[in-house]
Structure 1
């Protein structure tokens, strides 16, 4: 993990140096960064929906389990 952070920081500084000497590259990197952020936001939304769906399924499963316990209890009487 530390190595990944060091590599990321190094690449960041190289990209800053490259962008300061080349405005077109700076614009391209900004555009690419914006694209990555939008993609990340989309994935976050999809993940959030999946979490909510999972919570609903767990709640349904818990209700079914409780119903089954009541049926089993009533059957023993």
Structure 2
């Protein structure tokens, strides 16, 4: 009887070990998806930054345009 109960205990320990292994794998997959999410957020931030730079350049060119237009208006 003792041998059988020990064998069953070993089997349950083995099953626990397998479930822990599966849990670790799912945690690893979760961390990878979080990592990918962070990368996409980083890329989004970079594109927003580029958009801001282009808006800044546009506003500068508009400012320059308004400066070049002003003297002509005064001349007219």
| TM-score of the aligned structures, taking structure 1 as reference length | 0.69
CA RMSD after TM alignment: 1.3
| 2:48 paired with 1:64 | no
| TM-score of the aligned structures, taking structure 2 as reference length | 0.70
Report how many aligned residue pairs link the two structures: 57
d(CA) in 2 for partners of 1:62, 1:42:
30
Other-structure match for 2:7: 27
Q: Where do 4+ consecutive residues of structure 1 move more than 4 Å?
A: none
Larger Rg: 2
Runs of 5+ consecutive residues of structure 2 not aligned to the other structure: 58-76
Please give the per-residue CA displacement for 1:19-52, whole angstroms capped at 9, x wherever unaligned. Answer: xx81111011101001101101111111111111
Runs of 5+ consecutive residues of structure 1 not aligned to the other structure: 1-20
